[in-house]
């Protein structure tokens, strides 16, 4: 293993911030970056010798290779994480605009919302996996959150609280409990999990994730991230009184003057409930 690859791997090993999925993805991205730097001629680089010229070389290489804007943004985030951990934060400009990198565009094409088919759900034989799926539907949770959640800690009466270690990016958040259906799902989750999570005590997260994936495949369930999209669209209609553009509602440009403020407010609420910190991401879930 090359020196830089090894050092970055160790850096990831000793800095376990973010969710499990975030950690895995970060290590993969940094391994790729180390390989690319070597291919670009920086063969003697080590973790603490990161310089502006290395970042600039990557920022030139990625667009030439046809890398998507969103992917470049994620790679820059991994670079900044690396720079911060070796006290070299100043070697990377604060804005990606400095490198001429394109900004991510949130398309509003196909509707990816998905409902949970009850007949297929009954084919999921593992009770923990089935409960995770129900929580995804009821609260718009990510898959990892719905597996790691400890219902007795998450239940705050009128809100569902998500601990940072369960979430993407390590950001705690709250989702309101607004219906009897949500309350019933959460009560059943508490009964099943007791004081623990929806990972049985004899399993690791990775083992439960693989079980989840296998059970979904056998039950004919796919793209369960679409449950978040469906949650967002239900929530939008609840908050505004009209359907989201992707669900057949009016486009933002066609909204009446008195509908624009509810639209903007609903998007901010939904962005927060889904665990995002930018309103623009709601275009993916709702359209525009």
What is the tens place of the pLDDT at every residue in 159-200?
999 999 999 878 899 999 999 999 999 999 999 999 999 999
Task: Quickly tell me which residue has 């049985």 as its tokens.
Answer: 200
Q: Please indicate, yes or no, whether the overall pTM of this predicted structure exceeds 0.75.
A: no
pLDDT at 123 over 60: yes
Q: With 80 as the cut, is the pLDDT of residue 104 above it?
A: no
Token digits of residue 216: 């979904």
Tell me what the mean pLDDT of segment 237-254 comes to. 94
* Nearest CA among 125, 124, 123, 154 for reference residue 138: 154
Give me the residue spans of the domains in the chain.
3-99, 124-219
| Residue written as token pair 């939008």 | 236
The length of the chain, given as a count of residues = 288
Handedness of CA 229, 235, 236, 241 (dihedral sign): positive
Specify which residues 162 forms β-bridges with: 173
What's the confidence (pLDDT) of residue 107? 59
Burial profile 165-183: b = 16 or more Cβ within 10 angstroms, e = fewer: ebbeeeeebebebeeeebe
* Cα of 47 vs its chain's centroid, Å: 27
* The pLDDT of residue 103: 77
> What's the mean per-residue pLDDT of the chain?
93
Distances (CA, A) of 114 to 232, 235, 236: 11, 14, 15
Q: What value does the mean pLDDT take over residues 120-133?
A: 97
> Residue 274's Cα: distance from chain center in Å?
9
Answer yes or no: are the C-beta atoms of 229 and 116 closer than 8 Å.
no
Q: Compute the half-sphere exposure of residue 136: CA atoms within 13 Å on the CB side of its CA.
A: 28
Could you read off the pLDDT of 58-76 as tens digits, one per residue? 999 998 888 888 899 999 9
The reported pLDDT for the residue numbered 108 is 57
286 within 8 A of 236, measured Cβ to Cβ: yes
CA distance 15 to 13: 6
In Å, what is the CA distance from 202 to each residue of 19, 139, 147, 197, 198?
Answer: 20, 27, 14, 12, 11
Residue whose C-alpha is closest to residue 85's, from 12, 169, 28, 5 = 12
CA dihedral 127, 133, 134, 140 (to 10 degrees): 150
**Strands (DSSP E) along the chain, which ranges?**
159-162, 173-176
């Amino acid at each position: 293993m090359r020196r830089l690859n090894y050092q970055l791997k160790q850096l990831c090993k000793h800095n376990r911030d973010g969710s499990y999925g975030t950690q895995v993805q970060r290590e993969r991205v940094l391994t790729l970056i180390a390989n690319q730097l070597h291919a670009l001629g920086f063969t003697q680089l080590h973790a603490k010798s990161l310089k502006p010229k290395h970042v600039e070389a990557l920022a030139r290489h990625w667009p030439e290779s046809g890398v998507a804007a969103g992917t470049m943004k994620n790679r820059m985030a991994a670079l900044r994480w690396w720079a911060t951990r070796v006290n070299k934060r100043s070697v990377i400009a604060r804005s990606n605009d400095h490198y001429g990198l394109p900004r991510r565009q949130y398309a509003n094409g196909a509707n990816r919302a998905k409902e949970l088919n009850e007949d297929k759900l009954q084919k999921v034989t593992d009770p923990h996996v089935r409960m995770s799926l129900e929580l995804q539907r009821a609260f718009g949770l990510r898959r990892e959150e719905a597996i790691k959640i400890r219902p007795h800690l998450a239940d705050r009466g009128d809100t569902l609280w998500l601990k940072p270690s369960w979430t993407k990016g390590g950001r705690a958040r709250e989702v309101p409990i607004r219906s009897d259906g949500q309350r019933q799902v959460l009560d059943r989750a508490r009964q099943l999990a007791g004081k623990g999570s929806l990972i049985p005590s004899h399993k690791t997260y990775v083992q439960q994730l693989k079980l989840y994936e296998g059970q979904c495949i056998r039950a004919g369930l796919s793209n369960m991230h679409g449950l978040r999209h469906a949650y967002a669209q239900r929530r939008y209609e609840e908050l505004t009184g009209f359907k989201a553009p992707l669900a057949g509602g009016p486009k933002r440009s066609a909204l009446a003057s008195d509908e624009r403020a509810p639209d903007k407010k609903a998007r901010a609420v939904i962005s927060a409930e889904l665990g995002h910190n930018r309103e623009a991401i709601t275009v993916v879930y709702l359209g525009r």
